[in-house]
Chain A
Amino acid sequence: MDIHALQQIVHTTRDARRKQTIPKFSPADRDQLIHKYHPDYRASAYRPIRFGPNKGDRTVVELATLLEGDSPMQDDQDLAPHYSTDVLVIGGGGAGCAAALHAHGAGSKVMLATKLRLGDSNSVMAQGGMQISVAPEDSPVTHFIDTLKGGHMQNDHALLKVMVEDGPAIAKWLIELGVLFDRQADGNLHVKKGGGSSKPRLLTCSDYTGLEIMRVLKDEVINQKIQLLEFCAAVELLSDEEGRCSGAVFKDLDNQRHVVVAAKAVILATGGIGRLHIQGFPTSNHYGATGDGLCLSYRIGAKLAHVDTFQYHPSGAVYPEQLIGALVTEGIRSEGGHLVNAKGERFVNELDTRDVVSSSIIRECEEGRGIRTMSGRVGVWLDTPLLDAEHGPGTVEKHFPAMMMQFERFGIDISKDPVLIYPTLHYQNGGVRIDTNSESDVKNLFVAGEASGGLHGRNRLMGNSLLDLMVFGKRSGLTAAARAASMKQAKLTLKHLQQFRTEAKKHGNPSGVISPMILPAYTRKVG
């Protein structure tokens, strides 16, 4: 059928749906739903990791294979450093920039290396906002509770407490750097309500929150003259005789040469895994989201936390083809947008947590109440025109300019027509286990942002990622700088790699895979 004919049911049922309230699931119903429909519970997609710090733990096959993968390093790799620095930051997204700026501010010599350009990251795409409890009726404790509920009570309490308590100071830092958060008429920060939150707590810069923060942080990194190493992908970490991290080896993607960097402390801020397309899912992630930091940390001996759980954002575009996997911000649902199946019915409280909403969408589609595309995809409607009906004409355009433009380019006006959506691989809930100073099990190896794990439990709440990046970017930067100031450069060896290879040999590495992946293989090989 013509898409407009299929969309009719959304228009005709709109007024009736506006009168409806859909209760949230009880904890028991929610667990049952998630166990039945959430991709984290698709057993066939999982296998145990065969060796290393997380031996026996289950994770998705795609990730297990990369974690067990071999290093591209030769045994006789020349480790004479091309650069020496106090603090080496790997990754140029939000966490990397925040870490570099704080370490630099604390007096360290800092180098920031990234495999693409400074700022190329998921951070730049964050649209929904940043959760910080600034409203008078809100508190860090309530933020803690909401996050814990969202994370199925599995969050690391110590990490979570520092995140919610450091939040307001982070907002102040960003404002002083010139970030333009949306304001109320009285000059206070405007807060929006996010999915799974009991209080309005999202700070926003229209639907460009991540972009605005990243424009400013990138500019500041350049203004502070922090040394940059762009288009250089980390391919192995270095350790001293006692297993402490002492630097990294990079592959320069322009000339394929290895670059060795000696560092007193290393901060990994390499982001997530969307581009592994786990379980065949499309992704909202950037080009470089291939889980490199997980492989590097794993080989040097750092334990990972919650590596079996991933976030499938409820609203990834399914139509048009060009936008498959692209995110339709949760902000639309925060402002009242309904999810509607092919029969014109709502089927979930749209502001429930992401895992619940995604599971419900998958249920609707598996039970035949989805809308199919001819490329074999399926989805449900997100009623975007409802926002204009509810809050007045022009609301969608005013509040979601980025979304409007993205769809307009393909001839779709989301203020007039609903959007077809299905869950898209969005976030790695777990990652390298860290303490409250952002340090991993491996001494002098810090991990910040999406690459780290424990904070979000088994499901991250909307708006907590941007805050995570800033808080643990800052903590890692400050701790690494203090550490570096108190020590000499350690030796550069690949001793950890010898151990890893010995263990790998015992278990075999039949895939022959070399990791990290660096970039996904999208180039068509046959023509």
Chain B
Amino acid sequence: MALDTTDTQNIIDQPEVLKPRMVTIEIAGKKVEVPEGITVIKAMWYAGQEVVRGVGCLGGFCGACATYYRTKDDPKVRTCLACQTAVQDGMSFTMMPPFPARKATYDIQALQDPKQDLFNLYPETPLCRNCNACTEACPQQIDVREGVWKAVFGDFKSVSEMFMDCVMCGMCTPVCIADIAPNLVALYVSRAQGAHFTEKPVGLDSRIKEIQDGRFNEEWNKILKMNDQELAEHCATVK
């Protein structure tokens, strides 16, 4: 086959890939040398650790790998998702253990007054002292503190929009001095918003009824009786 000659020139400069610089990091207090720039999770594997708890989707969606870290000479302890963060020299990190936050249980459909019920299910919610630690702890950059107050004031719609990015890592919970679990509050609020305060899609109900009433039966009968050849020809007509 004719190879295009441009290929040899189209190479992205990545000297760090050809000769990885080794950096020293600390994993749960222990110093190890790992290649710069690999993810925090990969650094743990590189260091020889078997990781069972603390790895999930590896794509930044599941919140299993919530991690505390600090960079060289910076006193500030930050949070990250270990599968989505690159290591750098002098970094020190440890994974967050599962935190025993209390989750309220409820029958979402049976709620009579979801906005009031919030205070029965999560009575600590209005006790927020505005310290903002939850917002600072969120690796998804959600304004968690603002969300808690919006929940308290009944603006469930805003909460559900703000927390669409929430991966339920729970890092907002251990930092709360009022023992609120903001992610669980937001989950309740979002579900209530969906189940109780969002318009019912009329088109969906009519489609369900059409199927029940057999509106498509004639078409089904026609299609399911076709042989492979006829079916293939019919399919080709649908663009």
Contact = CB atoms under 8 A, between A and B. Distances in A.
Interface string B206-238: 011001000010011001100010011011101
- Of B12, B56, B216, chain A has the most CB atoms within 10 Å of the CB of B12
Contacts of A1: 9-13
B106 interface: yes
A168 interface: yes
Contacts of A522: 42, 45
Contact of A322 (B3, B37, B141): B37
B208 A169 contact: yes
Contact of A519 (B52, B192, B211, B235): B52
A85 interface: no
B10 A370 contact: yes
Interface string B51-93: 1110111111110100000000000000000001110000000
A27 interface: yes
Contact of A223 (B107, B195, B236): B107
A219 B15 CA distance: 46
Contacts of B141: 405
B38 interface: yes
Q: How large is the interface on B (under 10, 10 to 19, 20 to 34, 35 or more residues)?
A: 35 or more
B165 A405 contact: yes
Contacts of B113: none
Interface in B88-130: 103, 105-109
Given A120-B56, A178-B193, A210-B61, A189 B204 contact: yes
Contact of B207 (A6, A120, A134, A153): A134
A212 B163 CA distance: 10
Given A124-B61, A171-B204, A287-B57, A140 B211 contact: yes
Given A205-B164, A287-B57, A319 B48 contact: no
A47 B4 CA distance: 33
B191 A178 contact: yes
B29 interface: no
B166 to A, nearest CB: 7
A279 interface: no
A124 B194 contact: no
Given A139-B219, A178-B190, A372-B10, A287 B58 contact: yes
A141 B223 contact: yes
B17 A172 contact: no
Nearest to B41: A522
5 contacts: A1-B10, A176-B195, A215-B166, A253-B52, A321-B38
Interface of B: 1-7, 9-15, 17-18, 37-39, 42, 45-53, 55-62, 64, 84-86, 103, 105-109, 140-141, 160, 164-168, 187, 190-195, 198-205, 207-208, 211, 216, 219-220, 223-224, 228, 231-232, 234-236, 238-239
